[in-house]
């Protein structure tokens, strides 16, 4: 059984998270329910930073808010002294709505709109990570019209290809993101930043992929970035003040997933980076990173209530399969469908019983929304509370209203206290933005 963060099994044999009984949480707030182990998130923020501070002199950790952003999360990240990566007007809005300090925010996006770029100036955010030449032109126009300066990082694609699902790889040459280094585009982008009035060249950025279970590609990418820094210095005289190597460190979805811990990861990236900088005779830039999943993934759990249980005959291998249907699925966790993502789970109300049976956990959408195929659990009954682990990143953030399901509530738990930070959607929310023109009203009977 995979127990994460502050999780433990209490005297009643129930799963406990942040000192709160998961069965009690399900009763109090209903299911499906996203539960965030606040102490685990805080510990991850501190440990990630400490790991890099131990082996590199100047670090900045930008939490990648796309992984999971609520006002409470923005508040927590600010309290922990981290910076914030936003990738849309909406993420910027939520961060600012929560009072996140604008100078600690950086804006991403491969097709930023005028509105997004304008908002970046308006809120006086720290800097923008530029993705393409159109954006550079737009930024030049805005800086001129507003008579203001914007700090800029140039996003480069280092051409390294990590081992992960093809939909979450971004560092390879064939990608929609950033400026290619090998064909000279990245260098050209730096030149344009340097020669565009109102733009200030601050540094370079790369992000190679997500859910990476070793440090190899991060190290490779960092070394390619040092070569780019050398070239920039040699050809323009400009120094990189901030080198951002993106996010991407993986988490445990299954017990056999073993990502390096933060210290091992930091050592494996920072030491070769320092050596490369020393060899190149370059001053150490601020080393920035944008972890999302590794800060929140394992700190999140989704609680479901078990409904129908059905055993069906199967031929491969000959026998039966038992489907346990829960009260959520695709709409609160699209990752199994999108990325063939795997998960583990715990029977929250009998966590102390031996997991000696095989079940397949199904959602309740009009799709084959299997959350977990063939997992070991104690004997299951209707009404049980099932906790799916490691749902803190890219679950609530990617939830939908498919089949007109209501998006679940979110609670933060810590030291036996549970705070509702997002309330469950209501049926009224489903029609809040709907307009029914007279000509489309259902026909009245004659
Ligand atoms: N920085 C940039 C520029 C990114 O594109 C991403 C993730 C991150 C940082 C954070 O990466 P992380 O540390 O979380 O791996 N929806 C997918 C993941 C997409 C990742 C997109 N970019 C999933 O559910 O697996």
pLDDT tens sequence across 225-241: 999 999 999 999 999 99
In the reported structure, the alpha carbon of residue 313 is separated from the centroid of ligand 1 by a whole-number distance in angstroms of 39
- Pairwise CA distance, residues 398 & 338, whole Å: 11
Q: In which region does residue 222 sit, left (phi positive, over 0), alpha (psi from -120 to 50) or beta (all else)?
A: alpha
CB within 8 Å of 297: residues ≥ 6 apart: 67, 251, 390, 391, 392, 393, 394
Q: Which atom of ligand 1 is nearest to the CA of 397?
A: 16
> pTM of the predicted model, to two decimals?
0.97
Q: Which atom of ligand 1 is nearest to the CA of 210?
A: 15
* pLDDT over 90 (residue 443): no
Write down the mean pLDDT value for the chain. Answer: 97
User: Which residues have C-beta atoms less than 6 Å from ligand 1?
Assistant: 64, 66-67, 85, 108, 168, 207, 210-211, 246-248, 290-294, 335, 339, 393-394
pLDDT computed for residue 172 by the predictor? 82
In the reported structure, the alpha carbon of residue 248 is separated from the centroid of ligand 1 by a whole-number distance in angstroms of 6
Q: In which region does residue 262 sit, left (phi positive, over 0), alpha (psi from -120 to 50) or beta (all else)?
A: alpha
pLDDT computed for residue 445 by the predictor? 60
pLDDT tens sequence across 321-340: 999 999 999 999 999 999 99
List domains and CATH numbers for the chain: 8-37+297-430 (2.40.37.10), 38-293 (3.20.20.10)
From the list 78, 90, 35, 17, the residue with the least C-alpha distance to 296 is: 35
Over range 159-163, report the average pLDDT.
86
pLDDT tens sequence across 369-401: 999 999 999 999 999 999 999 999 999 999 999
Strand spans (E) along 10-51? 15-17, 20-21, 33-37
In the reported structure, the alpha carbon of residue 2 is separated from the centroid of ligand 1 by a whole-number distance in angstroms of 24
* Given 45, 55, 71, 366, the catalytic residue: 366
H or E element, residue 157: strand 150-157
Mutate to test the pocket of ligand 1, among 260, 292, 300 (most ligand atoms within 8 A of CB): 292
Give the Cβ contact number of residue 130 at 10 Å.
30
In the reported structure, the alpha carbon of residue 366 is separated from the centroid of ligand 1 by a whole-number distance in angstroms of 28
Q: Which atom of ligand 1 is nearest to the CA of 155?
A: 3
- State the maximum Cα–Cα separation within the chain, in Å, rounded to a whole number: 86
Over range 177-198, report the average pLDDT.
97
pLDDT computed for residue 446 by the predictor? 56
Over range 203-212, report the average pLDDT.
97
Over range 111-118, report the average pLDDT.
98
Nearest CA to ligand 1 atom 9: 247
Nearest CA to ligand 1 atom 8: 247
Nearest CA to ligand 1 atom 3: 207
Mutate to test the pocket of ligand 1, among 62, 64, 128, 259 (most ligand atoms within 8 A of CB): 64
Counting every residue, how long is the chain?
Answer: 446
In the reported structure, the alpha carbon of residue 94 is separated from the centroid of ligand 1 by a whole-number distance in angstroms of 18
pLDDT computed for residue 444 by the predictor? 67
CB within 8 Å of 344: residues ≥ 6 apart: 1, 2, 253, 254, 255, 372, 375, 388, 389, 390
b/e string for 217-233 if b means 16 or more Cβ within 10 A? bbbbbbbbbbebbbebb
Q: In which region does residue 81 sit, left (phi positive, over 0), alpha (psi from -120 to 50) or beta (all else)?
A: left
In the reported structure, the alpha carbon of residue 209 is separated from the centroid of ligand 1 by a whole-number distance in angstroms of 7
Q: Which atom of ligand 1 is nearest to the CA of 165?
A: 25
In the reported structure, the alpha carbon of residue 419 is separated from the centroid of ligand 1 by a whole-number distance in angstroms of 27
Over range 36-60, report the average pLDDT.
98
* pLDDT over 80 (residue 5): yes
Nearest CA to ligand 1 atom 5: 207
Over range 144-152, report the average pLDDT.
98
From the list 114, 205, 187, 90, the residue with the least C-alpha distance to 151 is: 205
In the reported structure, the alpha carbon of residue 155 is separated from the centroid of ligand 1 by a whole-number distance in angstroms of 15
Tell me whether residue 366 is one of the annotated catalytic residues: yes
Q: Which atom of ligand 1 is nearest to the CA of 297?
A: 14
pLDDT computed for residue 162 by the predictor? 82
Mutate to test the pocket of ligand 1, among 66, 87, 127, 330 (most ligand atoms within 8 A of CB): 66
Q: Which atom of ligand 1 is nearest to the CA of 67?
A: 14
Higher pLDDT among residues 165 and 21, named by residue: 21
pLDDT computed for residue 165 by the predictor? 81
Contact between residue 42 and residue 6 where contact means Cβ atoms under 8 Å apart: no
């Amino acid at each position: 059984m995979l127990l994460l963060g502050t999780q433990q099994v209490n005297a009643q044999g129930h799963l406990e998270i942040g000192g709160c009984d998961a069965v009690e949480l399900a009763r109090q707030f209903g299911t499906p329910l996203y539960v965030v182990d606040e102490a685990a998130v805080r510990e991850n923020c501190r440990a990630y930073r400490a790991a890099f501070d131990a082996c590199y002199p100047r670090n900045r950790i930008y939490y990648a808010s796309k992984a999971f952003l609520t006002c409470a999360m923005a508040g927590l990240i600010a309290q922990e002294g981290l910076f914030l990566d936003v990738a849309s007007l909406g993420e910027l809005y939520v961060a600012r709505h929560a009072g996140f300090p604008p100078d600690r925010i950086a804006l991403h996006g491969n097709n930023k709109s005028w509105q997004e770029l304008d908002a970046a100036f308006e809120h006086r955010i720290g800097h923008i990570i530029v993705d393409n030449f159109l954006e550079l032109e737009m930024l030049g126009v805005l800086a001129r019209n507003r008579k203001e300066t914007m700090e800029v990082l140039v996003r480069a694609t280092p051409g390294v290809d990590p081992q992960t699902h093809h939909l979450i790889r971004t560092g390879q040459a064939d990608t929609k993101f950033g400026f290619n280094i090998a064909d000279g585009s990245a260098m050209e982008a730096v030149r344009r930043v340097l020669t565009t009035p109102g733009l200030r060249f601050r540094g370079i950025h790369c992000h190679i992929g997500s859910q990476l279970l070793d440090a190899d590609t991060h190290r490779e990418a960092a070394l390619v970035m040092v070569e780019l820094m050398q070239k920039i210095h040699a050809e323009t005289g400009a120094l990189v003040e901030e080198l951002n190597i993106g996010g991407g460190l993986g988490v445990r979805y299954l017990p056999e997933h073993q990502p390096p811990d933060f210290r091992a990861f930091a050592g494996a990236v920072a030491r070769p980076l320092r050596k490369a900088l020393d060899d190149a005779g370059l001053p150490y830039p601020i080393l920035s990173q944008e972890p999302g999943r590794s800060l929140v993934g394992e700190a999140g759990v989704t609680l479901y209530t078990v409904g129908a249980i059905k055993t069906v005959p199967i031929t491969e291998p000959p026998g039966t399969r038992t489907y346990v249907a829960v009260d959520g699925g695709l709409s609160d966790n699209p990752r199994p469908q999108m990325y063939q993502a795997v998960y583990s789970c715990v029977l929250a109300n009998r966590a102390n019983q031996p997991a000696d049976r095989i079940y397949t956990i199904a959602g309740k959408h009009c799709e084959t929304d299997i959350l977990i195929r063939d997992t070991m659990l104690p004997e299951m009954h209707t009404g049980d509370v099932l906790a799916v682990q490691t749902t803190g990143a890219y679950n609530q953030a990617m939830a939908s209203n498919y089949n007109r399901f209501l998006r679940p509530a979110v609670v933060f738990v810590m030291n036996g206290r549970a705070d509702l930070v997002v309330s469950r959607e209501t049926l009224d929310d489903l029609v809040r933005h709907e307009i029914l023109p007279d000509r489309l009203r259902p026909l009245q009977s004659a």
